[in-house]
Copies of this chain bind each other. A is one copy, B any other.
């Protein structure tokens, strides 16, 4: 047996960075460590006067690389005799996004200069910063009027969370930062560049994933949005276009090789390849084994749903998808991204904000136990899972949650189950949308905290969708996907893999425990889904007309049936 080789994955999250050392041959995770960002509130710079503001300090990232990698290597040494740091053959990086930051001509973040240390606008604009909501509306309106093709690939609405909105807002509100910023880079661009000493903004290898999903980059229209379009928003934005990029790269590409300085700091071999970065969800999908027909759901506070489609095959624009970007997930495939605005957040809201069930009955565990004892339809409840708007397929933040079927006997655990079911109906709506546009979903692999920890949620997802729910083997699929990018960057001859397909075959897998749909329950859920869909279309679309008089009655009839029909209703 050949000497083992390892790949290193760096996963830059919202509150911390994780380092993961993975065995290239089999995906064994031999060492991992987390470094929580020291700045601000759990790593996030906030503004008491503006709840929309959320920034991150790039100095935290740099410190975090050293600390997390050091700890991960130490853990690996402890766990595996075979492991040695010089057997690490490649590094990959995934990050949050869109998380852009202003840099100078050399690619150094303005935030690292003393004069800008205290200015949040000079730091990284974290994905969940919403200060640029007005600019986002402006960009959407202009694109709708002049370049609807820009919007077609990103779900029809340009978000306040994205690249151009944030830069435009900065240009308009902070002249100092605006004029000091030679260029702007995504966190996913910056980390590989800094590790490989390739930070020149004009030649830095930019992430296809970040550019395509957040900056409306598409080769079909010559890369970034047209200069006149950007200039119409703001002359300075038009001018900035020339200081950004014309080419982007998928994560099998090598951003560069590890500098001596970083090699020394980290205790790694200098010269090992570092892959071009990508977003966490996309590399998380890779680490979960995404492939044609194989749909990955990252189920946490919200969901990110990812699948791929051969770039060589025709695909129409799919209305309501968050993004369709060539190579954002796997090279040679269109990366298709969808998502639900809130999943775990809804369950957390019920437990934490409503605090149902009194002192002892209102925990997730207790409510899950109570909910598990119920049959589909037995509660007579139906929920629309729009407590944080609807990302896919309606792409509308101005939607809200709805509960119907309440009676004087409705219990908290019934509502809890109805909330879970609603997120499952939301998931089914997304899966069906893919199918309607010719992208069949044959297999679902779940990852993320809820997928691992809540079997009831997984079983309900199986029963609602009629698809077997599998769970990714790794508990840290994003970092694993990043490590796989590092392995692919090394290529076979460098101790890695030549392609992502090979890396996936070797390094990913699903857990033994899967969740198979129950036919009888699935049939009941299809009835309920019909009612969900009626409400979904009535409240969520402009063209629906019809009558909803049947909804409460159908729910009560189903309730009577599912309770065995022994209880009688008043009349």
Contacts and interface: CB of A to CB of B under 8 A. Distances in A.
Interface string A348-378: 0100011111110110000000000000000
A171 interface: no
A568 B380 CA distance: 35
B545 A545 contact: yes
Interface stretch (A36-44, A235-243, A268-276, A399-407): A399-407
Interface string A390-404: 000000011111111
Contact of A355 (B51, B412, B538): B412
Nearest to A137: B571
Contacts of A540: 549
Nearest to A555: B400
A406 B397 contact: no
Contacts of A398: 552-553, 556, 569
A542 B539 CA distance: 18
A437 interface: no
A232 B437 CA distance: 60
A423 B568 CA distance: 26
A398 B569 CA distance: 8
A159 interface: yes
Contact of A342 (B408, B541, B544, B569): B408
Interface residues of A, number: 68
A267 B401 CA distance: 63
Interface in A422-459: none
A544 B542 contact: no
A353 B387 contact: no
Interface in A516-552: 538-549, 551-552
A230 to B, nearest CB: 20
B137 A353 contact: no
A76 B446 CA distance: 75
Nearest to A140: B571
A483 interface: no
A268 to B, nearest CB: 40
A549 B553 contact: no
A10 B318 CA distance: 72
A132 to B, nearest CB: 9
A553 B390 CA distance: 13
A159 B51 contact: no
Contacts of A157: 571
Contact of A133 (B387, B410, B570): B570
User: Nearest 7 A-B pairs (CB), nearest first?
Assistant: A401-B406, A355-B358, A402-B404, A538-B548, A403-B403, A349-B408, A397-B570
Interface of A: 51-52, 130, 133, 136-137, 140, 157, 159-161, 342, 345-346, 349, 353-359, 361-362, 380, 386-389, 397-412, 415, 538-549, 551-553, 555-556, 567-571
Given A136-B571, A349-B408, A538-B538, 6 more contacts: A133-B568, A346-B408, A354-B357, A354-B411, A402-B552, A545-B545
